Chains A and B, each alone.
Chain A
Amino acid sequence: MKKKIATVSLAGCFGCHMSILDIDERILDLLKVAEFDKTPVNDLKKFTQRCDIGLIEGGCCNEENVHTLQEFRKNCDLLVAVGACAIMGGLPVMRNAIMNSEDPLRECLEEAYLNSSSVYNADNDIPNDPALPLILDKVYTCPEVVKIDYQIPGCPPSGDILWRTLIALINGVPADLPYGLIRYD
């Protein structure tokens, strides 16, 4: 039976998903042993079946991220946090540094939509359409919200790392990740 793989980008930049595409023609080999379920790669919006592996890019900055991550936890046997944002919050988590404020979240929104020198906002509005998911009080990393089975660091991790990781997970053996692949300085 082919393994089922789901992927998602939460509060990330899709850079990690670019790395998924960076496995290049090996994707054909991958599809011999696995199939994609919910993922931006095939644009499937909902889970159609239980999956073996879920790859998570990005942390949680709003309620929709949390909801999606919880759905992934419910529907996947293994969850892999891929990249710096999923593991540690990455760039979005910088807003957690607004701490010495009476009202940190408001300060964050005002900086982003009103006060920052690069903002052009003729209406002087902070977006608040009912269809927009509510933003969280701060950015949460994936391991803070659900249990994560594996973490792959990197910004982004390369296609080679993802390839080796996926193959190892599919075959149920430890991943062979040479030092050169996982050093980032």
Chain B
Amino acid sequence: MKTADICFHLKCDMEKSAKSVVASVCKKFDHDGIRIIDILREVQKRLGCINGDTMELLADELSSHRVEIEGLVSFYSFFSEEPKGNITIRLCDDIIDRFAGVKEIAGVFTDELGISMNETTADGIFSLEYTPCIGMSDQAPAALINDVVATNLTPRSARTLARNLKKNHDPSKLVKKRGDGNNAGRLINAMVRNNIRRKGEVLFADRISSGAGLRAALKRKPDEVIQDVRDSGLRGRGGAGFSTGLKWDLAARADAKERYVICNADEGEPGTFKDRVLLTERADLMFEGMTIAAYAIGSKKGILYLRAEYEYLLPYLESVLGKRRKAGRLGKNISGKKGFTFEIRIQLGAGAYICGEESSLISSCEGLRGEPKNRPPFPVEKGYLGHPTIVNNVETFCCAARILDKGAHWFSAIGTDESRGTKLLSIAGDCSKPGIYEMPFGMKVSDVLDMAGAEDPAIVQVGGASGEMIGRTAFNRRICFEDLPTGGSFMTFSSNRNVLSIVDYFLEFFIHESCGYCTPCRVGNVFLRERIQKVMNGFAEEADLEYLKDLSTTIMMTSRCGLGNTSPKPVVSSIAHFPIVYASLTRESTQGFQASFDIQSALAESRRIARRQSMIYDPVYGESSE
């Protein structure tokens, strides 16, 4: 055969295979457009990309339009139009990982694989890229190799890892030393460590009797269950701190035939990894909390939205669900309660921070781009597919199950007036004991730092990228909703870290993760970063700080969802808490000229091309020189 013929046949084969893959995947999901994220995930996995032709095929199969499919592919970072290697190596590019040396690790991989970042090897086997926080900040630098997690990388271990991969092309063979607890089990089989450093009495109590919470709940009426949760004072653990009992109550009261319970396990806030540990060690408790919520609000269906980065937990979570079904704790007539039916499915995400925001998460579950929805109506009135929906964090559901087991008063006796119970902190950064700490609300930052063995702490970021950045003068503040709220992230940085490079990183992160729907967030964060870089380069003056504060207020007030409502917080809080850093980098400009404009560099190219000096600005020619 001539080359052209071969190419033609090859192309036909590929077309045929794409066609058959798309057809079989769509069939597997009953051509259900709502499950399109799952469909795309599988197509991406089997074809290595979702290119234009594949989009057309998908649109045909699902009676959709190519532009709809393309919208999804371009939105979620785990989908790609360009062919990806069979093995995608994603290096975690979080600020903690950066400080831990992820650039060196990247150097090792580019060297071993002979490609740059964001490239695929010529043989189509390896792709190399950066990804935002993968929830392993306590064991940084870390990487995702397909769905296998590699932690505590050093240049040496990275080189061994890369060579192993080149030899046997099998990421699953990389796990040599397994982590602790369920990480070591056959179903998770990961080198991830839990690093549970401090156990409290609610979530990591040693004896938690399985099913006790559900049993207690089923003995009561649904509205009594809700009242219990209200009495306990439980507030949402994802960060916003909305009263859980009130949320359930609103959903229960909404006039509707169907209601939904969604568990938010899209733990994307940089530096947060406590849900990962709960999913590993307290999955049963979480599902129990969801079941109790379903009973309380009258829901038949639940969804666990699991971030794509935690795909390695999927087999284990499915097995926990299976066990619960077998034990009669899911399905029909749960635990003998006539008429109480509840089922849970797991929805995997596809790499989008914004999906941690509840209305975006709902959009994503519905098979749409993970863009926030307008509120009102709130999800408790019109959520998933228009039905009343409660979205709660993994930790919230775990707490709810414990509350039903041990009683509202037991729970509300822990913590502070407005923040009841314990809180999981995921502590990372410059400290000797990074990991998970369960502690009652109201702990002082300085005590937390002592416990974690923080080395020379100077900067603490509480609540992740969208949280507050504080300095030494504020270390007597307390972790609770009244003072310093957090969804769990607690990052500590020593005095040799640069405040502004941390702020700059967070802005870079938000620019990448903004869904782009509303202008204040899409454009505003870019302007914030430009101005922060001006400060970093020493070109800023007082007025620039005013500009930063003004613009921050505008973005926070006018953005459509929580992302933009909070993204300027690192800027605002660092200006408030590190005035000396900013003061030392700003200067008053002379004569009303902009310090950031440099005539010499603006003329450099021109001098080279014209091969002459400036008549005005080069003193050699002098008379009219400045």
Contact = CB atoms under 8 A, between A and B. Distances in A.
Contacts of A136: 602-603, 606
Interface string B30-57: 0000000000000000000000000000
Interface stretch (A32-40, A85-93, A127-135, A169-177): A127-135
A146 interface: yes
A74 B589 CA distance: 13
B593 A146 contact: yes
15 contacts: A63-B614, A63-B616, A66-B599, A70-B593, A104-B605, A128-B612, A134-B612, A136-B606, A140-B597, A144-B594, A145-B594, A146-B592, A146-B593, A147-B589, A147-B594
A63 B599 CA distance: 8
B616 A133 contact: yes
A177 B602 CA distance: 37
B591 A134 contact: no
B601 to A, nearest CB: 7
Contacts of A146: 592-594, 597
A145 B603 contact: no
Contact of A140 (B602, B607, B609): B602
Contacts of B615: 63, 130-131, 133-134
A164 B599 CA distance: 35
Contacts of B611: 128
Contacts of B617: 63, 67
B604 interface: yes
A137 B592 contact: no
A78 to B, nearest CB: 11
Contacts of B620: none
A73 interface: yes
Interface in A67-112: 67, 70, 73-74, 79, 103-106, 109
Closest 6 CB pairs of A and B: A134-B606, A147-B592, A73-B592, A136-B602, A105-B605, A137-B605
A160 interface: no
Contacts of B607: 134
B597 A145 contact: yes
A135 B614 CA distance: 10
A52 interface: no
Nearest to B603: A134
A143 B605 CA distance: 22
A137 B604 contact: yes
Interface of A: 63-64, 66-67, 70, 73-74, 79, 103-106, 109, 128, 130-131, 133-138, 140, 143-147
B622 to A, nearest CB: 14
B596 interface: yes
A28 B473 CA distance: 63
A114 B589 CA distance: 41
Given A73-B592, A144-B594, A128 B599 contact: no
B534 to A, nearest CB: 11
Contact of B609 (A109, A131, A138, A145): A109
B9 to A, nearest CB: 37
Interface residues of B, number: 23
Nearest to B610: A128
Contacts of B592: 73-74, 79, 146-147
Contacts of B597: 140, 144-146
Contacts of A109: 609
Contacts of A74: 591-592
Given A63-B614, A147-B589, A105 B594 contact: no
A137 B591 contact: no
B194 to A, nearest CB: 48
A105 B599 CA distance: 16
Contacts of A105: 605-606, 609
Contacts of B596: 144
B30 to A, nearest CB: 46
Nearest to A128: B610
A16 B552 CA distance: 34
B593 A63 contact: no
Contacts of B601: 137
A16 B401 CA distance: 71
Contacts of B593: 70, 73, 145-147
A133 B606 CA distance: 10
A137 B616 contact: no
Given A145-B594, A147-B592, A135 B612 contact: no
A137 B594 contact: no
A153 B502 CA distance: 37
A143 B592 CA distance: 10
Contacts of A103: 605
Nearest to B617: A63
A21 to B, nearest CB: 28
B616 A64 contact: yes
B589 A134 contact: no
A145 B609 CA distance: 23
Contact of A130 (B603, B612, B616): B612
B616 A67 contact: yes
Residue from A103, A131, A137 having most chain B Cβ neighbours under 10 A? A137
Residue from B601, B612, B616 having most chain A Cβ neighbours under 10 A? B616
Contacts of B612: 128, 130, 134
Contacts of A144: 594, 596-597
Nearest to A104: B605
B240 to A, nearest CB: 38
Contacts of A66: 599, 602
A64 B606 CA distance: 13
B423 to A, nearest CB: 46
A134 B609 CA distance: 10
Interface in B551-595: 589, 591-594
A52 to B, nearest CB: 15
A57 B4 CA distance: 61
Interface string B114-146: 000000000000000000000000000000000
Contacts of B605: 103-105, 137
A144 B612 CA distance: 25
Contacts of A70: 591, 593
Interface string B288-300: 0000000000000
A143 B606 CA distance: 22
A154 B615 CA distance: 33
A140 B603 CA distance: 12
Contacts of B602: 66, 136-138, 140
Given A130-B615, A133-B615, A140-B602, 13 more contacts: A63-B616, A103-B605, A105-B609, A128-B611, A133-B614, A135-B606, A138-B602, A144-B596, A145-B594, A146-B597, A147-B589, A147-B593, A147-B594
A73 B599 contact: no
A104 B611 CA distance: 16
B430 to A, nearest CB: 38
A67 B593 CA distance: 11
A133 to B, nearest CB: 7
A86 to B, nearest CB: 14
A185 B321 CA distance: 59
Nearest to A68: B616
A184 B4 CA distance: 57
